[in-house]
Structure 1
Amino acid sequence: MKRSSLFIFAAKGVLFLFSFLLIAACLYGTIWNADIVFFDLLALVLPYLVIANLFSGLLAVILRSRYFLLPVASLLIWFFTLGSFWVLSVAASDESTDDISILSYNVRELEGYYRNPYPDVVSRIMNFILEEDSDIICFQEYARRRPVGENLNAYPYQFYYSYTGSKRYSPLAIFSKFEILSGGSLDFPNTSNNAIYADLMVEGDTLRVYNIHLQSLKFRPGSLKRENPIRLFNRLGKTIRKQKEQVDILLAHTKSSPYPYIICGDFNNTQYSKVYRKLKGDLRDSFLEKGNGLGRTLLFKVLPFRIDYILIDPDFEITSHTNYKVEYSDHYPVRASFRLPEK
């Protein structure tokens, strides 16, 4: 076989592979009722698979090959099933001072991002929180310390959870300017990750806020080069299976909620995952409605991960969404504002 023929054969094979993987990922994420770890992990890198199909399609057009129809078809299927990872909000923010605002932030135990080890990271985070002046704050990986409590006196109602008996959970907290009527924990089994909730009295109505921190992926930027691929695959597969179990626990809890609710926090998975899609259900993703750009929330240069979300009751009107580029943790904070339905 000539080199040119071999190159064309290999190029066609790569084009077929990229198209097949993208179409399979779309079907798996929507109508394919199965649990296959490979496709769960494929959701983590799906934006790159989209880009690969885009470039392979352009190359086929340049070479005047009819095979360009394959990546075009796969890209159309992706766009109309899973949706774009790039958002351009047509409607401008119409937030008013009467709207309710909620901010979600994984603060990494208030230790700072290891690449930017600010000695005054606690003060920086607290100043940011106070400047934004949100009505409700959901912290993940929150370490309760005396200076923190003193700095958040603007939030008289607080629900903090870390321990139950001898079991230690990664600490979660909900701070509110609205009265907290009650709160509780879901106590995920066999893990340090967890979910909590608080029932708030808001404008004469009761609103439930879930603050969740699903099973952690447990890898850091720069660590992938040192990972054994098989061990990494197995570990991430176990993580995603655990996330699915936690989602089932959370959804069972929401079904018994007598109040409309919001789910926010660190999902540790992307918008293309079954974990996210199952949690979202009929809720509205504030970023998809009012955000812009990639919406990246994890400081990971290799992949533009969006793993922190604010999902809002479908009867509420979302008026704004903001992703902040403050590197005081390994996550970026996200904020949304909304209005309750008129009585």
Structure 2
Amino acid sequence: MKNLSWFNKTMFFFNIVLAVLTFVAYVLPFLAPKIFPFLSVLTLFLPMMLILNVIYFIYWGIQFKRQVLLSALVLLLGITFINKFYKFSEKNLPEEVSDFTVLSYNVRLFNKFEWSDKETVPVEISDFVKENNPDILCIQEFSNAKEFDYARYQHKYILSKGDKIKTGQAILSKFKIINEGEVVFPNSNNNVIFADIKKGKDTIRVYSIHLQSIKITPDVNEISDDINGIDQQKSQRMFKRMSTAFKEQQLQAEIIMEHKKDCKYPIIICGDMNNSAFSYVYRVIRGDMQDSFEEAGSGFGKTYDFKYYPARIDYIFADKRMQVKNFKNFIEIVDSDHFPIMARLSMVEDKKL
């Protein structure tokens, strides 16, 4: 330290602070949010912290300073987290007759409340689904839209609630649905629906989930202003709201896990988790399942239209009795505040060995 300039000493001080916060964020996925609900907010910013650690690593490295070891250690310990944030190459295995595709999309009520100036949103979403032709379609924030073409799906499970405005979720399938149901969350408008789908000799259970929103603005500038003290009271309210949402999500995740533990079928869980891949909720819901993005995706895997930040909060988890052969996130589709995601899967026994 004594050989460092005053500027480098200041830089290293902030480097240490960043390293400590990053280590804390590494541990948080293994701690229930109800224990440290406020600290759980850090998991949302872990990708940003990883990027800053890379910058520090380069900064010290080009100066041949031993301080580079701190950032090197942080990055080495977090190598598994980096894979959740960014994938350098995708997997696209040859398509076979036995493959099937699952598409998950939070459609934001098909623009029922006109958040977008486009009047053709339901038609454009319908055209997008028609073009990609998924075998199983899971829709969150579903609302009846006469412009959406349901005809291609003979088998449907649609659950809508509400008096004047009915909203909910839908699972649409080209394969027969032999059982269906809802997983209810206490004191929440969010929920999970599931369908047992018969595909050939296999039966697959598909869950479509929509967890409690953490209610943050899509504009990262507003959050930055709050944190910088322009509106300290608003910032405190925001973090309190997020902390409460994390605790609610923990309960919801545990309810999902309790529901699926006795299921004898291979399982697919997809939908809007409203949390990052670095969270306790993600770890609990995923369990030993495969994250389709990690298995076959590329890039940041962005699924939510959060300004300047590649937020990934929508997922398709596949049972280990399946193979993930391809994964896409469609960031060019701007008909909702979420981007649709699709995975191509096959049952393990269908693979050519």
1:288 alignment partner in structure 2: 294
Matched, 1:316 2:316: no
Consecutive unaligned residues of structure 1, counting only runs of 5 or more, are none
Contact 1:113 1:330 in 2 (8 A): no
TM-score by length of 2: 0.88
1:160 alignment partner in structure 2: 158
Amino acid at match of 1:316: M
Let me know the Cα RMSD of the aligned residues: 2.4
1:217 alignment partner in structure 2: 214
What is the distance in 2 between the residues matched to 1:171 and 1:80? 35
What is the distance in 2 between the residues matched to 1:240 and 1:280? 16
Amino acid at match of 1:206: T
Amino acid at match of 1:66: R
Residue 255 (structure 2) aligned to one of 249, 252, 255? 249
CA offset at residue 170 of structure 1?
A: 4.7
Residue 284 (structure 2) aligned to one of 278, 289, 312? 278
1:337 alignment partner in structure 2: 344
Which SS does the other structure have where 2:204 is aligned? strand
Contact 1:94 1:320 in 2 (8 A): no
Alignment of 1:94-109 (within 5 A): 94-109=94-109
Cα 1:291–1:114 change in 2 (3 A) is farther
Contact 1:170 1:192 in 2 (8 A): no
Alignment of 1:159-198 (within 5 A): 159-163=157-161, 170-198=167-195
Cα 1:276–1:259 change in 2 (3 A) is same
Cα 1:159–1:84 change in 2 (3 A) is closer
CA offset at residue 80 of structure 1?
A: 4.1
Q: Deviations over 1:273-320 (max 9, x none)?
A: 111111111101111111010000001123210111000110111111
Q: Deviations over 1:188-238 (max 9, x none)?
A: 111111100011111122111000000012223235346611111110011
Contact 1:285 1:309 in 2 (8 A): yes
1:53 alignment partner in structure 2: 53
What is the distance in 2 between the residues matched to 1:97 and 1:112? 38
Structure 1, 43-52 or 84-93: larger mean CA deviation: 84-93
Amino acid at match of 2:203: T
CA offset at residue 21 of structure 1?
A: 1.2
What is the distance in 1 between the residues matched to 2:82 and 2:281? 13
Cα 1:193–1:182 change in 2 (3 A) is same
CA offset at residue 90 of structure 1?
A: 5.6
Q: Deviations over 1:99-152 (max 9, x none)?
A: 11110000000008977521111100001111111110000001013333xx11
Amino acid at match of 1:242: E
What is the distance in 1 between the residues matched to 2:325 and 2:166? 34
Contact 1:106 1:329 in 2 (8 A): yes
Contact 2:122 2:145 in 1 (8 A): no
Structure 1, 218-227 or 202-211: larger mean CA deviation: 218-227
Cα 1:77–1:69 change in 2 (3 A) is same
Matched, 1:264 2:270: yes
Residue 198 (structure 2) aligned to one of 188, 197, 201? 201
Contact 2:292 2:317 in 1 (8 A): yes
What is the distance in 1 between the residues matched to 2:91 and 2:151? 35
Which SS does the other structure have where 1:104 is aligned? strand
Would you identify which runs of 4 or more consecutive aligned residues in structure 1 move more than 4 Å?
112-116
1:92 alignment partner in structure 2: 92
Amino acid at match of 1:229: S
Which SS does the other structure have where 1:296 is aligned? coil
Structure 1, 155-164 or 216-225: larger mean CA deviation: 216-225
Identity of aligned residues (%): 33
TM-score by length of 1: 0.91
2:118 alignment partner in structure 1: 118
CA offset at residue 82 of structure 1?
A: 6.2
What is the distance in 2 between the residues matched to 1:138 and 1:118? 23
Contact 1:188 1:246 in 2 (8 A): yes
